[in-house]
Structure 1
Amino acid sequence: MTDASDALDVERAATQLLGATAGWQEPAGYPDSLALCAIDSVYSLQSPYSATVRVLDRYRVARRRQGGDPERDGASELLAAVDDAGGPAVAAEVLFGNRGKAPGTRSARLKSEALAEAVGRLREIGIETAEALSGADEAAARRAWCVRGLGAVSWDYVLMLAGVQGVKADTMVRRFVTAAVGASVLVSKERAESAVKAAASRLGATERALDHAIWLHQRRQPAA
């Protein structure tokens, strides 16, 4: 299939299944908090979003008790909170209340460990805030973020949560595109991302709005 036909198929599926584009909304995200962007991205990997919400809420409570403002926390504030908790491994329980493991790590690396390393590497190249992401060298920032257990999908989601336009071509989005184009096997991340971006353009919608509409739709579907 061509990119153009994929876009047309996704456009048709979106029109049939997702309601009027006027009703779509971009996710609120955390445009003032790199910390919350990073936490949400990491802890939502291969996990029910309700569990991610609990992690975010627990972090917010902890930071407010410290006199901080989690809605404006940057890289340094998050890393300091992790250190205060006793380091990344201890923070999994003490700060985040979640000992989830990062995907694809043979040694079952804690998400808290991957999170701390990735955010630390962003800080090393001068990215302290969510706002700084929009003006950063995207390739360098992506390389910094993609530590063991974190890949391109989680990086795309960090950007989207910070307000940058894009598509998080995770399993749910890929399943939607797979069904739309009639593929017999799950389409690749790259194919899904390209199709959704092109369909958004055809529909006159933002990439974030279409991505979010797809996510909401897929979330309501029975587990495969």
Structure 2
Amino acid sequence: MADDDVRTLVAAVERELPDDWAAWPGGWPGQIEAAHIDAVRSIRAQYGQEHNGVRGAVGKWRAHRGTDRPDDLSVLAATDPAVLAGIVGKQQLSGGVSKAEAMIEAARNLSGLGVRHAADVDPASMGQKLAYTDVTGLGDVTWEYFLMLLGKPGVKADVWINRFVGRALGRTPSPAESRDLVKAAAVELMVDATALDYAIWSHERGRSS
């Protein structure tokens, strides 16, 4: 990662983003089930309002669970795929796997490692990351977003982040490069990486509408 690229990205942030950045909604700290459903359901999806889209899916799961703080992956792991699909939606991931099936498989994998609650998640654990990303359709970006939704600082290098970084640099970066550059820019700007990620994401989505 070149220092010139970091400076170029910082300049683009200062030039393009408004002074009053869009605020990160906050995710689901302490609610591992909600964070997991949100992360997977968000793949190529509209975030929506409380009654629809990704937020609606989380809300329906919380209602199904009868709690506002669902925090036990073993419950998701034991859920019938058809039942979960009826709650969170029947969308498909790449490879023909449904999002509901991927949610359950990842929940089983993590639960098998003793990761049941939000407090059990270790962002530095390669074993936990592989248990998640070994699931068809789930990759590094989804894992990173899952961590962010749990309150861990991070950057979800999706199409909007990559587009902004690519425009700033005048070339097409990899998601990993975009993630590292945004994190480095956050350090230079003395802001939280998640806050910068969301500000860029919101700005770039607004440009396309």
* TM-score for the superposition, normalised by structure 2: 0.90
Provide the residue aligned with 1:62 in structure 2: 64
Structure 1 171/57 Cα, relative in aligned 2: closer, same or farther at 3 Å? same
Aligned to 1:188: 174
1:91 matched to 2:77:
no
Where structure 2 has 5 or more consecutive residues not aligned to the other structure, the ranges are: none
**d(CA) in 2 for partners of 1:57 and 1:190?**
31
| In structure 2, C-alpha distance between the alignment counterparts of 1:3 and 1:195, rounded to whole Å | 9
Which residue of structure 1 lines up, in the alignment, with residue 108 of structure 2?
Answer: 120
Give the whole-Å Cα distance in 1 for the aligned partners of 2:120 and 2:15.
Answer: 38
SS of the residue aligned with 1:46? Answer: coil
After superposition, give the CA deviation of every residue in 1:190-209 in whole Å (9 maximum; x if it has no partner).
Answer: 11011101100000001111
| Amino acid in structure 1 at the alignment position of 2:109 | R
1:24/1:220 CA distance change after superposition, 3 Å: closer
Distance 1:158 1:76 in 2: 17
Give the conservation status (yes or no) of the 8 Å contact 2:62–2:70.
no
Q: Which moved further from structure 2: 110-119 or 70-79?
A: 70-79
Distance of aligned partners of 1:58 and 1:138 in 2 relative to their CA distance in 1, 3 Å threshold: same
**2:125 corresponds to which of 114, 126, 138:** 138
Q: Distance in 2 between matches of 1:179 and 1:4?
A: 17
Preserved CA contact (<8 Å) 2:77 2:111? no
**Residue of structure 1 in register with 2:12 after alignment:** 13
Letter in 2 for 1:148: T
Q: For the aligned residues, what is the CA RMSD?
A: 1.7
Name the residue aligned to 2:46. Answer: 48
Are the aligned partners of 1:176 and 1:214 in contact in 2 as well (CA < 8 Å)? yes
2: distance between equivalents of 1:166 and 1:138? 15
| Letter in structure 1 aligned against 2:127 | A
149 and 138 in structure 1: CA distance in 2 versus 1, 3 angstrom threshold: same
Measured in 1, the distance between the counterparts of 2:76 and 2:21 equals: 35
Matches within 5 A, 1:21-36: 23=21, 25-36=23-34
TM-score by length of 1: 0.85
Q: 1:178 aligns with which of 149, 158, 166?
A: 166
2-side partners of 1:42 and 1:145: how far apart?
A: 11
Offset at residue 23 of structure 1 (A): 4.6
Match in the other structure for 2:37: 39
- Of 72, 78, 100, which aligns to 2:91? 100
Cα deviation for residue 3 of structure 1 reads 2.2
Aligned 8 A contact 1:131 1:162 in 2: no
- Partner residue in 2 for 1:210: 196
Q: CA deviation at 1:148?
A: 0.9
Q: Which residue of the other structure, out of 67, 72, 75, is the alignment partner of 2:73?
A: 75
> What SS is found at the alignment partner of 1:220?
helix
Give the counterpart of 1:167 among 131, 155, 178.
155
Question: Are the equivalent residues in 2 in contact too, given 1:27–1:161 (CA < 8 A)?
Answer: no
Structure 1 residue 35, shift from structure 2 partner: 0.2
